Structure formats: structure tokens, C-alpha cells
Amino acid sequence: MLVAGAVGLNIEDTVHSDGGRLRGAEEHAEYVAGLRTAADAAGVHVVINARTDWFKGKHGDEATRVDDAIARMRLCAEAGADALYPVAFHDEATLARLCSELPLPVNAIAKPADGDLAMIRRAGAGRISFGPTWQMGLAEVSKEWLARWR
């Protein structure tokens, strides 16, 4: 992919090949730094969207979850990430706080069928992803279309 000259990737802190464990904050930042170093050595700017499943997995104490996620994401920013992706369907206040306190564009997950794009804009997200919601929506439409063929 590097030879194409334009590459981007999401780097999760969940390690699916290791039982779904969550990398520690420093471990994840080191992983991001290693990717940045390798890309720079190849002479290609890889857009790294550093993702944390801290919210998704409901890790840590609920009272400090936002603070903890911000600390994790700041380490990834310092390590060379281009965007930060604290995965969850956040309420506006939480998303706005993440966007205002993080030093890079924040990636918000959106629901194309019924999500509130205006809220995501107001909160200040710099990027959106649909995660599996796009695929799930298309699967539902496909079921409706194909139902008549049963």
C-alpha cells in the first residue's frame, strides 16, 4: 500500500489476535509511534486514525472514563497520529468535550439512517465514520428487496 503514496488506517487499541485485550495507553501509543516511524522511513505519509475502544468496552471507572480516554488519545497524538477515534455513540456534551480537549481532529461514529449530523458538527468532530452501521443498514434494505423472492 505504501507504494500507492496515499494510505490511511484505523489503529485500534483492542488486540483481537490476543483474546480481545485492550492495549495499555503507553503500549498503544508506542504502536502508533512505530507505525509513524515505518511510514516516514518509507517516505509516505500514512494517515493514522488512532482508535480507542475505552468507551465501547466501558473500561475504567464511569466517573473518569472521559478523562481517561482523553489521556489515552493525547498519548497517541504525541506518538504521531493524525486523527483520534474514541469509539462510541457519544452525547453532544461528551463529544464536544472530546473535540475541545483533544489536540487533533476527532473521529465520531455516525448512524447514516437516523443520526444527527448537525449535532456532530456542533460538537466539533473533524471526521465521521459509519463503522458497521452502513453495512447493517444495507443488509436491512437487501432483506426487504430479496424478501419477495422467497
Give the full edge-to-edge strand order of the sheet including 46-52.
7-11, 46-52, 83-86
Q: Each residue of 37-87: pLDDT tens digit?
A: 999 998 888 999 999 999 999 999 999 999 999 999 999 999 999 999 999
The domain locations on the chain are 2-147
For residues 82 and 48, what is the distance between their CA atoms, to the nearest angstrom? 5
Q: Is the pTM of this model over 0.85?
A: yes
- Domain boundaries 2-147, corresponding CATH code: 3.20.20.60
